[in-house]
Structure 1
Amino acid sequence: MPARTALDGTPCWIDLTSSDTEVAKSFYTNVFGWQADTNDDPQYGGYAIFSKDGQPIAGLGPQQEGNPYGNVWTTYISSTDAAASASKAQASGGTIMMPSMQVGPQGSMAIVGDPAGAVVGIWQADQHHGFGLVGEAGAPVWHETLSKNYAVVLPFYTDVFG
């Protein structure tokens, strides 16, 4: 099956930062029937890919030292230019939490905070195009943020992601 390419400005990937990746692997493989494959390449820091029917569904990474946020899911929104989208987020009242960085040959990512404090990832695909399956049992079907300030964040998401 050819790689599914997400439309610019749409959710394309999710990943979980976990304080205990082995427990998370066991939980999600049992609940959803996902497979979990950890990349042994040190540059990926123990990152695992969950898959269903051989198609990528989500990522799982260990909580990094000094990161107070463990056990949290992040939704990534597709962009043709992660650095430009992060800059646009900052210009639209958001915060760049992690500047755009290359993730091996997979693509580029950035992490931003919206003006009300919600965190969202930005993904610029290269070899990794994101979800292989959507809209079916065991695959991502819905993404939302519950905002503390809807009136402020609605124009932010419109301005940054279209």
Structure 2
Amino acid sequence: MNLLSRRSVLAIAAVVDVALHSRSAPVAAKALAARHKLPPRHLETLLQGLVHAKILKGVRGPRGGYELARERRRITVGEIVRTAMSLSTADPDDLGANSLLLERVIDPTVKKAGESFLANLDAITVENMCETAEQAHVLDDEKTSGDFAI
């Protein structure tokens, strides 16, 4: 069971992807979208939010794209998730009337659990994720997958 929204998972994937692929040049949004089988416009709002949060840095120009704004070890998964959550268009407080049970028991309990979950994500850095991807030979598998055109 995944407790994170699709947007949060995509944000983590985008940042780790940029960390893995931007060593020699910035990662184009088009290339990023292609690797994750998404339309480029689908990622653009998310990428701009990550730039605004100073997790990614946008590079303009014909060879532009995205690169990390800070070292991999200084960006946590919790920070990425919080940024993605802040970009959500739904207002979690706009659910209508609250009952006493929701207000005094359910909401505080769920909030406390969520804070604990995010604290655990704060212990994971982009560096950790990149090391795991390298151990899993993700980049090697991308090269041999044959998803390219000449």
Common topology (TM > 0.5): no
* Greater strand content: 1
Give the structure with higher Rg (CA).
2
| TM score, norm. by length of structure 1 | 0.27
* Greater helix content: 2
